Structure 1
């Protein structure tokens, strides 16, 4: 009897531990929601608006993939609908082709860097534009 109680306790502890370690950390959920806001709520991320569960448990779609390990986001792939090529980008927002004039690439990148376990990032057709500078280099997003 004692051995079976011990086995039950070990199994229950393992189940509790395993389920709690795979849930996305609260602050990473908040970071993803901030990224969604920075990107001006692209259609592929509309499901996040009323979703109360773990974003890591969302089914992958061709337009949105989130993969997690150890309660942290390791891969984020988002494909938007702004597929028009900008022929003459002059550094200012272009309606329906880029994000609005209030978009800040620096705020976006700063928020993105808070996902410290992120190893794969793919952002396609989202209309990201601007110049981001760091200590050693500049990156221009047309």
Structure 2
């Protein structure tokens, strides 16, 4: 059985809405070629584009994130759902208070805002997992 991909999900859902790539691109504020690249697995969407895709195509944001970043499944996947809320909040608090780590990894204020939104998924249970996610995001942005 073939594993589901982000491109397959986007193409199928776009078809269900009877949108052309150009129409979807216009709704998302990107070029039609970018939609084609996403559907063909040649690009990974930014987090803001993932959110717009989810809203426009009425898809689950966490599902899209995991399809775009399958390497993060062990952090936000179903098997992590049992992590207590207090531990998740402690992980965020420890991460943002560790000025040495933030400086060493050159984490910007803008990146902290994005990671805070990722934290709202409620799946992060250790501070170092934020660095993993940040590096995945940075890599995806460099590829765009």
Q: TM-score, normalised by structure 2?
A: 0.25
- Bigger fraction of residues in strand: 1
- Bigger fraction of residues in helix: 2
Tell which structure's C-alpha radius of gyration is larger. 1
